[in-house]
Every structure is written in structure tokens, then in C-alpha cells.
Structure 1
């Protein structure tokens, strides 16, 4: 097997670029059309790119399944990623769970080990939810859909759970990117009550998870200022430039450890009050902080701190 710098096998590099390269490809296509191509060529390329945004993207198709399995197999070995369960026997395969994945970091890369194709999580049905902005991105929308990722909305989230389908969500979302700092782990949860309420309405236990090492996968740069924060909130994601190996989209190889906590039982309440939601919300944040503190030393992150906003 051919190798790329640093003993990365070629197929691993290809898989990582397929999974994550779309963001950079879209950026450079836009720059090329605006700054280099004649008007007719620029219009043609942009028209093709816009068309890609509307081509149907369906989960569990034959081609999609092959591509997804290829990416998951090679991506998990690339870093590599290891999953640690606090109590795997506590899961009921027929129960739907809210798998709350933290932190978001530049991209929540670690969840690739939790996707349906990996078979790691002990549940029968599983989907991941991501920002709608991802699904307006040519190339990215197809790859991520094939990996089992769906656009996040309160309606889709609730419907999945009620159908017995567990959902992986990053409750802090792209908002966490606004608070990111080098050398610090950041989660944005103090104002995030929605995922708790949806879980309670469905009677789905909450599962705190934390991915150690994920924040080291990319270098990044972002503007500063109030205008940038307002823009990020308005468009639903945080525009920033990030890079990995060779200055491109393939992340740096950094070992990751995905710790999956014990499910937190919730009472099924059709329309829980804010006070009821707040109680469960507090339990979740406490469980996540305890999970982080319990495992950071053993996994080699003794000097790391977790900041909750």
C-alpha cells in the first residue's frame, strides 16, 4: 500500500479528503470563479456547483453505503479513535437515546466512530444531526447524508426519537466556535435547553459524551469583533478558515478518545415546564463535567480544563 507523509496510507488520506475536503473545495472554487476565470467560464462553473446543491441526497443507498463504510473504516484508523464506555450494559438496544456529543471544536470529527456504519453504539437505529448549512454545501451534503447525518430541526429530532431512532447531536453546536481558544476545551451549554426538552418529551435518556484530542485536529483562524458574532448567529454557522496536513482539509493525526457516559434517565413529559427542564439540564452539565474530570488524567490530558459557557 502506498503511503503519504507520516506513514499515512494512501486510502486513509483519500477517505479523509472525501469526508472533509468539500469545505475547502467549495471555498477555492468560489475564489477561482471570482478572481481568475473569465465571466462565461465562471458562470458555467457556478451553475454546475449550484446544481449539485439540489441533486437528491438519500441515506442508505447502495452507492452511499459503500462510500460511508469506506470513510468510516479508514477515518477511525487514521487518527486513530478509541471508544471508552462507562457502562455499555446500561444501554437498551430498542430504546432511543439522545447522544450528546461534545465538544464541537472546528468540526466534531470524533463522531465518525459513532455513526451507524461503525456499529459501536449498542442501539438498533441511529442518526446524527447537523446544521442545515452543511446541506447547502455542494459535495459535502451527499457525503454527510450517506454517513447517516440529517439536517437538524426540532421536528426531525423529535420524530426520530419517537420512531425509536437514537440521535447524535452536538448541543453546543457551531456557537462553541465563537468561544474557542487554543489550548482550552470549550462547550456552550448554559443556554441550551432545547435538546433536553425534546429528550423529555420523547422519554429518551440523555447520554453525555466527550471526545478528548479532537480539538488538536486542526489549526484555525477566525475574525474578531461583534459583527463577526452577529454574522455567525445570522447564518447558522461560524465562518472561519481552518487547515490540517499540508495546509489542506485533511486533519492532523492526533489520537482521539471518545468517552461515552452512562445514560441519564428522564421522565416522559408531554410539555415539561422550564423548571422541570432546568433540573435535567443541570444534571446533564454536571454529568459531562464529571466525565471530563474522571478521564482526562488517564487519557493524557491532565493539564486540560473544561470551560462551560
Structure 2
């Protein structure tokens, strides 16, 4: 059942837990599946069969993914529906009427945390944003992972490259991006992030500098019983009012800084206005 309160969409549908876990596994567990498959092929299969497995994975990385696949669309809606019900995720849009359905917007989603799971509620497959078309921007590395690149493409994700960003906006897609990206995980602190996962990260400046170069964070995380299935923690996602900016193909650094400061101020204000309703009355927002 969907519950609408003051512009909020609360995904509280009672769904079969098996379906929820399957949806989460399809969305978040494909990395673990690939690692398990490679491990099994390496240590338990004859060389010829192991090479066949590795070759098949390579083919799955190389062949294009049809983002308009009928199967893919149905699967993405299945995943969104059951993930939103699992936590559940509450989506609150402050001023729905402030958005024009056919206009392209840029949304900054925070925080990245271990995984910005809540942003799936903003995607086109969820069907709750008052926009005609949306794209979710994610790390380029995801699109080199077999199976994961398929499910995430069908869910509306695309590589967070400058080229994709510009082309998506030009095509009329609103883009949802995590401004700090995966680098935010370098600054994660217990109690300052979502509790959907427990985690441990390697300490030390050398590790952090290496992570910045490789664009991979040395982070170990786990959910229920050590699995990739996250803990069932209610998530509260708020969409603020759009910030009006003038189109400028060649902005100066001062102009960029002005808009950035406005975004940070609005983010702080949005957090303070809604944290009590989300159940985190005493939580402070830390912006680095």
C-alpha cells in the first residue's frame, strides 16, 4: 500500500520477504556473486571449464546492454518496488508543483555512505518523481562488472562521466548524482552515516592517497549475517526546492563557487528541517 502524507510517498507495502531479498541481491549482490563464481572456477573446476567461465564473464562485459529491453524494464520495476518496501523508504518532495515534468534538473544526493541505496527511489523505474525522464549517475567501474552492469543500466544508471552528464541533460534527462562520489567513504565516521551496513576501512594517509589515485576505497562492509543484504533500517529521502541558475556554458570559478555555496546552504537547511521527522533529532550534519 502506498501512503501519501503532505507530498510524501511512503513505500510501506507488505511484500514477501523472499521477494525483497531477491530484489536486494539483484541490485547489490552481483559483485559478491562474481567473486564467488571466480573463486569456484579457479579452485574447483578443470582449467578448460574455468577458462570458459572467465571467457563468458568477459563477453558479458563487452556486449552492449539494451536499456530499453522489455525484460529489463520489468525487472527494474520489480527491484525498485521491493527495495523501497524492504526498509521502507519514505520519499518526501517539498514542493512537487515547483518541478516542470519535461525540464531537466540536476539533483545532488547525500550522503554516499557505503552505498547510496536511497537514491533508487528517485529513479525512473520507481515512478514517483514528478519528472518525465531521469538518470542515476554512478561510478564507471560498475559498468565493467558482469550482471551488475545489466541490472543497473535497466534501473536507469549511467556512468558519471562529463560526456554522459552533458548528453543526458541535453536529451532531457534529469540527473541524480552524489557530489562527493565514492571519495566520501574516505571520510565516513560511525554515527554520521546511514546504518544500512556495518563497515571497516583501512586507516592511514598512504591508503587514502592510494584510494584517490585508484578511485577505489579500501572499504569492507557487510549486512545481515555478513551478507551483502543491508540491515532493515527505515530510510527517509527528502527532495528540496529547485535552485534556479542561469545557463552559462563557460562559468567562472567564482560563479561555480557561488552556486556550490548555495547548494551547501540549502542542503544544511533541508537537513535541519527534516531530521526530526526522520527520527534523528540530535544528529548533526558534517560537511567537509
| Superposition TM-score, scaled by structure 2 size | 0.90
Offset at residue 46 of structure 1 (A): 2.3
Matching residue within 107, 113, 124 for 1:105? 113
Once residues 43 and 172 of structure 1 are traced to their aligned partners in structure 2, the CA distance between those partners, rounded to angstroms, is 38
Q: Which of 114, 121, 133 is matched with 2:122 structurally?
A: 114
* Counterpart for residue 174 of structure 1: 182
Q: Name the SS of the counterpart of 1:216 in structure 2.
A: coil
| 2:239 pairs with one of 228, 240, 260 | 260
Deviation (angstroms), 1:34: 5.0
Q: Report the equivalent of 1:212.
A: none
- Counterpart pick for 2:54 among 46, 57, 60: 46
Distance in 1, matches of 2:23 and 2:66, equals 20
CA-CA distance at 1:250 after TM superposition: 1.1
TM-fit CA distance, 1:49: 2.0
2-structure distance, mates of 1:257, 1:138: 31
The residue number in structure 1 matching 2:137 is 129
State the Cα distance separating 1:27 from its structure 2 match: 2.7
1:281 aligns with 2:260: yes
Per-residue deviation, 1:39:
4.4
Tell me by how many angstroms 1:51 deviates.
2.1
CA shift for structure 1 position 145:
0.2
The alignment status of 1:146 with 2:125, answered yes or no, reads no
CA shift at 1:40, angstroms? 4.3
Evaluate the alpha carbon distance shift between residue 234 and residue 41 of structure 1 in structure 2; reply closer, same or farther with a 3 A threshold: farther
Q: How many residues align?
A: 274
Poorly superposed stretches of 4+, deviation over 6 Å: none
The question of whether the paired residues in 2 share the 8 Å contact of 1:131 and 1:236 is answered with no
Structure 2 distance, partners of 1:292, 1:152, is 25
Match of 1:17 among 25, 28, 34: 25
Q: How does 1:82-231 map to 2 (within 5 A)?
A: 82-185=90-193, 215-231=194-210
Secondary structure, counterpart of 1:229 in structure 2: helix
Q: Deviations over 1:209-245 (max 9, x none)?
A: xxxxxx1111112212233223322232324221111
CA distance in 2, matches of 1:34, 1:229: 31
8 A contact 1:133–1:237 mirrored in 2:
no
2:286 and 2:50 map into 1 onto residues whose CA distance is 45
2: distance between equivalents of 1:303 and 1:38?
A: 57
Secondary structure of the corresponding residue to residue 174 of structure 1: helix
* CA separation of 1:153 and 1:85: change in aligned 2, threshold 3 A: same
Tell me the C-alpha RMSD between the 2 structures: 1.7
Residue equivalent to 1:203: none
Residue segments in structure 2 that go unaligned for 5+ positions in a row = 1-14
The residue that corresponds to 1:204 in the other structure is none
Residue matched to 2:5: none
| Deviation string, structure 1 residues 174-215 (Cα, Å, up to 9, x no partner) | 000111111114xxxxxxxxxxxxxxxxxxxxxxxxxxxxx1
TM value normalised by structure 1: 0.84
Instruction: Decide whether the 8 Å contact of 1:128 with 1:148 is kept in 2.
Output: yes
Superposed displacement of residue 280, structure 1 = 0.7
Shift of 1:44: 3.3
Q: Extract unaligned runs of 5+ from structure 1.
A: 1-6, 186-214
